[in-house]
Amino acid sequence: MTPEHVAAWAATHALSPIQVDCTVTVMLKILDGKCKMPEPEKVVMALLYDRIKHLPGQLLDADIHQLIESARNCADEALKDLIYEKRLLAETSISRPVMKGFKALIRAEGLLPAKTATDHSDD
């Protein structure tokens, strides 16, 4: 999946504020090393994050983006711990059915490949 494909997908799929929060949460999960997605899917999610980070979320503070940017550039132990804490807070703020619904949507709409019967990871 190319950056152009992700950009085109994002341009034709308006995300709701809670879906923006879901994307941010996945980005936090990627940064703290807890995301179980295959590496190519992590790249796609990071590209999607870059496309939507300017959009308002529903539950997460906008200042989270500066933290993510700092962690992407140089994450020391203190910053890694803060990312971990923010990820836990984000995951507890967004209900599991909402997050699962978001992941199902982006798979159904072609951003990520569909899950197969043998896939057992919880992204």
User: What are the tens digits of pLDDT across the range 27-57?
Assistant: 999 999 889 999 999 999 999 999 999 999 9
Q: How confident is the model at residue 1 (pLDDT cuts 50, 70, 90)?
A: confident
| Alpha-carbon gap, residue 24 to 100, rounded angstroms | 14
User: Would residue 13 count as lying in a domain?
Assistant: yes
DSSP labels, 12-55: HSPPPHHHHHHHHHHHHHHHTT---S-HHHHHHHHHHHHHHTTS
User: Would residue 120 count as lying in a domain?
Assistant: no
User: Would residue 75 count as lying in a domain?
Assistant: yes
> At residue 7, does pLDDT exceed 80?
yes
pTM: 0.90
Residue 36 has what pLDDT? Answer: 92
Q: Which residues contact 93 (CB under 8 A, 6 or more apart)?
A: 21, 59, 60
User: Would residue 63 count as lying in a domain?
Assistant: yes
User: What are the tens digits of pLDDT across the range 61-111?
Assistant: 989 999 999 999 886 888 989 999 999 999 999 999 999 999 999 999 999
Q: How confident is the model at residue 118 (pLDDT cuts 50, 70, 90)?
A: very low
Residue 27 has what pLDDT? Answer: 97
Is the Cβ–Cβ distance between 57 and 18 less than 8 Å?
A: yes
Number of domains within the chain: 1
Instruction: Pick the closest to residue 89 from 25, 3, 13 (CA basis).
Output: 25
Instruction: Pick the closest to residue 50 from 5, 98, 10, 1 (CA basis).
Output: 10
User: Would residue 122 count as lying in a domain?
Assistant: no
User: Would residue 27 count as lying in a domain?
Assistant: yes
| Alpha-carbon gap, residue 70 to 113, rounded angstroms | 30
Provide the residue range defining the domain that includes 11.
3-108
User: Would residue 47 count as lying in a domain?
Assistant: yes
